[in-house]
Amino acid sequence: MRKPKVRAAPKKSERKKVFQKRPLEKAQKEREARAVDRLEQELLKGTMKFGKVVLQPLEELTVRPRRSTSRDAPGGHADHDTDVGEQKDISEINLAAGLNLFQGDILLPRTRNALRDPASRWKFPIPYILADNLDLNAKGAILNAFEMFRLKSCVDFKPYEGESSYIIFQKFSGCWSMVGDQHGGQNLSIGERCDYKAIIEHEILHALGFYHEQSRTDRDDYVDIWWDEIMTGYLRQTGKSGENSMAEQYLRVLSPTDYEHNFNTYDDNTITDLNTPYDYESVMHYGPFSFNKNESVPTITTKIPEFNAIIGQRLDLSAIDLMRLNRMYNCTATHTLLDHCAFEKTNICGMIQGTIDDADWVRGDSSQPGQVDHTLVGQCKGAGYFMSFNTSSGVTGEGALLESRILYPKRKQQCLQFFYKMTGSPADRLEVWVRRDDSTGKVRKLTKIQTFQGDSDHNWKIAHVTLNEEKKFRYVFLGAKGDPGNSDGGIYLDDITLTETPCPAGVWTIRNISQVLENTVQGERLLSPRFYSSEGYGLGVTLYPNGRITSNPGYLGLAFHLYSGDNDMILEWPVENRQAIMTILDQEPDARNRMSLSMMFTTSKYQTSPGGRLYTHCNCFRSIDWGWGQAISHQLLKRRSFLKDDTLIIFVDFQDLTHLTKTEVPTSGRSMMPRGLLLQGQEPLALGEGSRKAVMEESLPSGLGQRQASRQKRSAENTGPVEDHNWSQYFRDPCDPNPCQNEGTCVNVKGMASCRCVSGHAFFYTGERCQATHVHGSLLGLLIGCVAGLIFLTFVVFSNTYQKLRQ
């Protein structure tokens, strides 16, 4: 471990220029609050009617709104009288909870070199338990994060079924995890305000064996740490006196403290960068204001100033995050990505031309006048390819087939996503077919799935087609000429992605987004068309191009609402336990490298108030919005591929999570919990060695969601009660020291010591501490048999001898 030399910090005013000042002035806050009140009074006029059902608007939808997954959303405000408040990062959440963990969010075992230790690597799939103390929204967000790992890596998860190593996701104070496989049941906390995708991915990466990016040995070549701006002093107690909160438990152990340890670096014997460059975009990097004592002055700045607004991003796994993950676990394939093609290679991804059609698709490039691909949008010479079918010649009805290679699904549902444009006649057609196994092993049986008709919009469009294939198949594109005499173009395809995931319920495309951002004023909004969820609920999205009235400048806002619809009479009201997910798509051609913004919250019945207005664009009623005034910064939108082709694409989903209400399962007594965890401030003598004072680890609460009475340590020599150390159950180890006698093994079963007694060839041990010795029944039977045989043999010999003597 090394700490760089302290450098003289530049003046605070100089550092402030790089960052937007975060706290608002009191007068400005008061003006904004009055503006919010006026807007909400306007929205709350009248009663929304869904069909003949009168229901409450979005207050009825949610009691616990969820926040943006973007690091660039520090001040999200809801269109609602329950303010979402400022979006906090992990360090801020844990500080507010009174935690001072190693590197801010790591529950530290004695051995820290999980990156170096092969024994700390998981075997896939990783068993998991979702404890019932988790918020329902957190459960949905965790499953969403699992899908990201399955899509982008070989990492996989499965429900717990009695395995010895597993992860238990629980709601404790703060967001934290252990590092690597601890070979027992280990906790991962998704506490209040932690339940969004990127934070969960961050904590799972810790569990998979990764540390923070700024802990690298070469960190100081890329960022500056302003040691004089790091907070020091006592932890602030957030829980009320007498509460069994983690804040109180930590205060007993850690106060007073400082936070400079969070910025230490470690040598190559402890962590490794796996031969990858320093990653400013890593989801494992601290944000610039982590552990700062002055709200508007950073503790970390980048050597390249353009990355000051990038570090600490909470969008998704970066490309280098994935590179390291796949190298560590030797990943060669993912679980849910079946196919991807951008047509950049001459072999067109193994796709084939049909043999029974009239013409062929042609691989084109962006060098031709008026021919612009979607992958690179014509920005690179000698690159940027697509497939096209000319519909301006020939006769009506001629077609061309383009077929994928044979694919082997693992799930029963797939989503085919692709970009297309049709520049010919409105009568031209692009059809999606599937060629299936005909039960003889040949993939030849054709079934039409969906048709796209030409129109006057000649821009690139995104399309989603749901497939339900269980056996090997090909997907097929059929281009058909509708009216060659009135066509001066054709049909184009690019950036095809096939995943084994559901397609989004709604897709909203906003054209000329640069003009929209420039011409709209703060507080002005755009409404999406009405979409329908899989259950039939009408829903939509509100876009605030320059944020809400209460937002800071330079941000885009996003909100969710319900529309009245055709199915309202038979739907379930109020709308409970549904998770609304809004995603701003990062339009990278490879789905594995996308860092899309996802925000989600789960509906509840507990908040109700009248509202709703009639809107002419859909002739329907709409609930008030629930969302975030600062969902993502304009700077980050322009840096990634969110605005490719001057187009913003937003997905919206509305999923039923009722089945996740009860998810926890009892754990097997076979699991062994690791020992000797360290809180920050209780450093070991050396990395990988025993600590000066072992701190008891967290045990599983009874039923996972409930705390059980403290059980004190005991030894074989002293089995009576001992004094209560007032240590948190999170760190108690009832097996330290081992209470079992006769070499018995102690197992932590839901926080209680349970002895597994040794059984030898001749003897076995029983009792609470393996104190009773017994002889194996088989050995006892053998002894009895031998004695009986000996007696019988003696009797026979004696009888024979006696008979001989009489003769």
Question: Annotated binding residues, as ranges?
Answer: 202, 206, 212
Strand runs (DSSP E) across 528-672, as ranges?
531-532, 538-544, 555-563, 578-584, 597-602, 613-615, 620-622, 626-633, 647-656
Q: Give CA–CA dist 699/705, Å, rounded.
A: 12
What phi, psi does 36 have (nearest 5°)? Answer: -65, -45
Query: What is the sign of the dihedral through the CA atoms of 539, 543, 549 and 554?
Result: positive
Task: Give yes or no for a contact between 198 and 67, defined as CB atoms under 8 angstroms apart.
Answer: no
How many Å apart are CA 348 and CA 298, to the nearest integer? 48
Residue 26 CA to residue 681 CA, distance in Å, equals 38
CB within 8 Å of 801: residues ≥ 6 apart? none
54 three-class SS: strand
Q: Give ∠ CA 83-86-90 in degrees, rounded to 5.
A: 130
Annotated binding-site residue numbers for Zn(2+): 202, 206, 212
> Whose CA is closest to 306, among 638, 705, 572, 562?
638
Q: Give the 3-state secondary structure of 99-141.
A: CCCECCCECECCCCCCCCCHHHCCCCCEEEEECCCCCHHHHHH
**705 in helix, strand or coil?**
coil
List the structure tokens of 742. 């006769």
Nearest to 309 by CA among 283, 284, 280: 280
Distance in angstroms (rounded) separating the CA atoms of residues 81 and 111: 48
Residues 172, 730: Cα–Cα separation, whole Å = 9
Contact criterion met (CB below 8 Å) for 707 and 743: no
Q: For tokens 């009825």, what's the residue? A: 60
* β-bridge mates for residue 339, sequence order: 498
The first and second tokens of residue 366, run together, are 């962006």
> Using an 8 Å Cβ cutoff, are 410 and 472 in contact?
no
Residue 286's nearest CA partner among 148, 103, 109, 149 is 103
CA angle 79–81–87, rounded 5-degree value: 65
Q: What CA–CA distances, in Å, run from 656 to 411, 576, 662, 698?
A: 20, 8, 14, 33
CB 124 within 8 A of CB 146: no
Please give the span between the terminal C-alpha atoms of the chain, in angstroms, as a whole number: 96
Cα torsion 737, 741, 743, 744: sign: negative
Q: Which of 59, 203, 500, 664 is catalytic?
A: 203
Q: Any residues with CB less than 8 A from the CB of 616 and at least 6 apart, and which?
A: none
Quick one: angle between helices 197-207 and 136-152, nearest 10?
60
What is the Cα–Cα distance from 454 to 293, expressed in whole angstroms?
59
SS3 630: strand
Burial of residue 510 (number of CB atoms within 10 Å: 0-12, 13-18, 19+) = middle
d(CA 377, CA 364): 13
Q: Which of 209, 354, 222 is nearest to 281 (CA)?
A: 222
Active site residue 243: no
Q: Which two tokens stand for residue 664?
A: 């926890």
Residues noted as catalytic: 203
